[in-house]
């Protein structure tokens, strides 16, 4: 499997994964990504900003993730807890895998590859959030040693999210 930056040629494959993820969340009664976000234009914007990455297996994109440098406005305030530290951090967003490879460790592999890349940037902290009902993502974060830190509210619409952080060893 190859971890790499997404290109515009990957847009349709990445979008198909996002659409599957939206349907999976809806089927599991998770009110996340059910309001039109992220839209295909958001994914294209991520690709053009060079912050969308994919995991590719034999030419097929099987997973996608956004990795970017912080700070991020959504993480400026945290409630019912605290961040592990206030050191510079990167953020992970829009983690999704093809339905056909779910529960095969691909999401963890994707996150590990993103962590290695971020450590290479010289950043030793990662923040990420998820919906309170998104149990699969919560389990993935726990499995990958992310620490639950508290609650954040998204600036865009005030939605409540569970916030996590992980401290990395810099390469």
pLDDT tens for 93-107 read 999 999 888 878 999
Q: Determine the Cα–Cα distance for residues 116 and 38; give it in Å rounded to an integer.
A: 26
Structural domains of the chain, count: 1
Which of 62, 70, 107 shows the shortest CA–CA distance to 88?
70
Q: Determine the Cα–Cα distance for residues 34 and 84; give it in Å rounded to an integer.
A: 31
CATH number of the domain that 37 lies in?
3.40.630.30
Q: Determine the Cα–Cα distance for residues 83 and 163; give it in Å rounded to an integer.
A: 9
Q: Quick one: pLDDT at residue 170?
A: 62
Q: Domain range spanning residue 140?
A: 2-167
| DSSP conformation letters of 25-62 | HHHTT--SS-SS-S-HHHHHHHHHTT-EEEEEETTEEE
Percentage above 90 pLDDT, the chain:
94
pLDDT tens for 38-52 read 999 999 999 999 999
pLDDT tens for 43-86 read 999 999 999 999 999 999 999 999 999 999 999 999 999 999 99
């Amino acid at each position: 499997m190859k971890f790499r930056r997404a290109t515009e040629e990957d847009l349709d494959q990445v979008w198909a994964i996002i659409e599957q993820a939206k349907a999976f969340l809806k089927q599991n009664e998770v009110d996340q990504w059910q309001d039109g976000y992220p839209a295909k234009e958001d994914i294209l914007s991520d690709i053009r900003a060079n912050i969308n990455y994919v995991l590719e297996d034999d030419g097929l994109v099987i997973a996608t993730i956004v990795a970017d440098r912080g700070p991020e406005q959504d993480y400026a305030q945290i409630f019912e807890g605290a961040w592990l530290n206030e050191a510079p951090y990167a953020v992970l967003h829009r983690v999704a895998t093809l339905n056909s490879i779910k529960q095969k460790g691909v999401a963890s592999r994707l996150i590990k590859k993103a962590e290695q890349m971020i450590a290479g940037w010289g950043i030793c902290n990662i923040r990420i959030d998820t919906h309170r009902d998104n149990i699969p993502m919560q389990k993935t974060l726990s499995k990958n040693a992310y620490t639950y830190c508290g609650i954040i509210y998204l600036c865009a619409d005030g939605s409540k999210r569970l916030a996590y952080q992980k401290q990395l060893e810099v390469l």
